[in-house]
């Protein structure tokens, strides 16, 4: 590795909701940094720490042994958007712009660039910071896998693993009690976790936001299975799924966040309707944050390490304004603008959808 005497001080932060693999990226950035002659500063609690001036130097010993650890040693926040900063005033939330604090801290810490690990919200902030003259490199994280510019975000595989394990376990109890088990999974407006988790866990019905479902079709599938002597069914429903002509089911709103809508609750609606309309005893399981916690899978550890090491390599070459991305089997970079231009949603002709249909899984649309 060649020493780079111009890019010396790199900030790293983890923004938005956490997921397995964040620590592996931090390690992937920090360990090689020394060989490039760089010092890494961990900015605490995502952009919140950037606004409030919270950072600490990361040395090799700080990142030793964290490869397999879930969460983030730096802390994270999904309420710290510097351009949408919530302030409590007279019992109300007022939104103000605190981006100048970020610029001030960037200069005070004498940073040459910042590696921001996050999802679409983080990448949108990165674009605005770039326009203010801050050098940024993005690393795509989210269990939702909804960033179009990369074939895969890290964290997704770990979430899918949790869903498939849950379905495996529910399979045995569903079959013993001849019940329908409805599993609600995360994913926001994208159905990737439900699609991949449902496929891996052998769900009988997968309901995703991209394919609005008909109630009758879902009931039919359960009846058909009954006629075939299969007296139980597993339904994997994405939190953003909705029936044809219906609305998202939400559990609340949070004005402090850029996207205030909090999805959740469709699982119970699906379970109640199935029980009332098929006569089958039904239970609902909401996997929630189990999908975000715990150790990353080997796939996510490898992808995260590659992403981290590639990000610091880009910094050493002074390639800024890019997001690290996986295309096929290669890691490369795309412009941040490209990274935020399009959300990646499940297409009807996705091979996973085709394969699921081929093995008899219903999407509630036939």
Contacts of 276 by beta carbon, 8 Å cutoff, 6+ apart: none
Q: Which lies closer to ligand F6P via its Cβ, residue 93 or residue 132? A: 93
Q: Which residue is nearest to ligand F6P (CB)?
A: 186
* Dihedral sign of CA atoms 168, 174, 180, 186 in order: negative
Q: Is position 158 an interface residue for ligand F6P (rule: CB under 6 A)? A: no
Q: Is position 188 an interface residue for ligand F6P (rule: CB under 6 A)? A: yes
Q: What is the DSSP string of 71-122?
A: S-TT---SS--TTSEEEEETTEEEEE--HHHHHHHHHHTT-SEEEEEESHHH
**CA 20, CA 292: separation in Å to the nearest integer?**
6
**CA 21, CA 23: separation in Å to the nearest integer?**
5
Exactly one of 45, 112, 144, 210 binds ligand F6P (CB under 6 A); which one?
A: 144
Phi then psi for residue 67, to 5 deg, are -50, -45
Q: Which of 45, 112, 144, 204 is catalytic?
A: 144
Q: Is position 196 an interface residue for ligand F6P (rule: CB under 6 A)? A: no
Exactly one of 72, 76, 78, 362 binds ligand F6P (CB under 6 A); which one?
A: 78
Stretch that binds ligand F6P, among 63-71, 137-145, 224-232, 326-334 (CB under 6 A): 137-145
Q: Residues 95, 80: contact at Cβ < 8 Å?
A: no
Contacts with ligand F6P: how many residues (CB under 6 A)?
Answer: 12
> Closest approach of Cβ 284 to ligand F6P, in Å?
17
Exactly one of 30, 142, 278, 282 binds ligand F6P (CB under 6 A); which one?
A: 142
Looking only at the bridges linking them, the beta strands covering 330-335 and 180-185 are unpaired
* Dihedral sign of CA atoms 96, 97, 100, 102 in order: positive
**CA 331, CA 92: separation in Å to the nearest integer?**
45
Residue 90 designated active-site: no
Q: Which lies closer to ligand F6P via its Cβ, residue 38 or residue 139? A: 139
Q: Which lies closer to ligand F6P via its Cβ, residue 17 or residue 42? A: 17
Q: Is position 225 an interface residue for ligand F6P (rule: CB under 6 A)? A: no
Q: Is position 72 an interface residue for ligand F6P (rule: CB under 6 A)? A: no
Residues within the interface to ligand F6P (CB under 6 A): 17, 78, 119, 142-144, 186-188, 239, 263, 292
């Amino acid at each position: 590795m060649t020493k780079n005497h111009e890019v010396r001080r790199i900030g790293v932060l983890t923004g938005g909701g956490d997921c397995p693999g964040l620590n592996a990226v931090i390690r992937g950035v920090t360990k090689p940094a020394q060989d490039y002659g760089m010092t890494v500063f961990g900015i605490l609690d995502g952009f919140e720490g950037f606004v409030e001036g919270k950072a600490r130097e990361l040395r090799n010993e700080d990142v030793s042994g964290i490869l397999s650890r879930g969460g983030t040693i730096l802390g994270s926040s999904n309420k710290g958007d510097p351009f949408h900063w919530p302030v409590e005033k007279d019992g109300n939330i007022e939104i103000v712009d605190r981006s100048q604090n970020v610029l001030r801290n960037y200069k005070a810490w004498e940073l040459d660039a910042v590696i921001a690990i996050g999802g679409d919200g983080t990448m949108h902030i990165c674009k605005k910071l770039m326009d203010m003259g801050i050098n940024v490199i993005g690393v795509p994280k989210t269990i939702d896998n909804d960033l179009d510019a990369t074939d895969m975000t890290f964290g997704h595989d770990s979430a899918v693993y949790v869903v498939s394990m849950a379905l495996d376990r529910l399979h045995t109890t569903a079959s013993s009690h001849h019940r329908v088990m409805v599993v609600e999974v995360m994913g926001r407006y994208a159905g990737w976790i439900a699609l991949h988790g449902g496929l891996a866990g052998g769900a009988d019905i997968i309901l995703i936001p991209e394919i609005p479902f008909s109630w009758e079709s879902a009931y039919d599938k359960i009846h058909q299975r009954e006629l075939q002597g299969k007296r139980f069914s597993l339904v994997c429903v994405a939190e953003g799924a909705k029936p044809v002509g219906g609305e998202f089911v939400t559990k609340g709103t949070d004005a402090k966040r850029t996207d205030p809508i909090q999805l959740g609750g469709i699982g119970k609606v699906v379970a109640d309707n199935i029980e009332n309309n098929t006569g089958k005893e039904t239970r609902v399981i909401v996997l929630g944050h189990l999908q975000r916690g715990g150790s990353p899978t080997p796939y996510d550890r490898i992808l995260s390490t590659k992403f981290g090491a590639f990000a610091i390599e880009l910094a050493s070459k002074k390639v800024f304004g890019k997001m690290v991305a996986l295309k096929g089997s290669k890691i490369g970079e795309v412009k941040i603008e490209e990274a935020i231009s399009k959300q990646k949603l499940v297409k009807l002709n996705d091979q996973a959808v085709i394969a699921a249909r081929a093995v008899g899984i219903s999407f509630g649309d036939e």
